[in-house]
Amino acid sequence: MTKHQKPIVAAGLLLAVLFATAGCISSHETVYADTNRTKVAFASDKAGRVFYEALARASESRPRTEKRTEVNLILIDVEHRTVSGPNRLFNEAVAFCDTNRDGEITEAEADIFAGAWPQLRG
């Protein structure tokens, strides 16, 4: 072996040892994010019942909202997921239903919501 080949062989052996002992960097994280529920009142028991029944029908067929970020490189594997909670859907439904934005859902608003919301969300 010549004087110039020794450093190349040493560097090759060093790289081989590094790759043999190196591990994969892996990170998996799931974050469950939920907002506070919007405060809302119902003008009557019927308004509340109609609203919640329509919300439940639309929620049954609706998949959970999930945001996923993945990075996969040779030795690096990173995954970050964000799953939204049920309050997000509730807040969207209240905003859609309470057309005059007074914080109170009337029977008329609930009836309109019940007819339109499942078709929009389902």
- pTM: predicted TM-score of the whole model, two decimal places: 0.60
Contact criterion met (CB below 8 Å) for 77 and 39: no
pLDDT per residue rounded down to tens, the chain (122 residues):
666 677 777 777 766 655 655 556 777 787 777 889 999 999 999 999 999 999 988 776 555 566 777 777 776 778 878 777 888 889 999 999 999 999 999 999 999 999 998 666 54
Q: Which helix (H) or strand (E) holds 72?
A: strand 66-72
The two three-digit tokens of residue 67, written as one number? 């945001």
According to DSSP H, which parts of 1-122 are helical? 5-21, 45-61, 86-97, 107-121
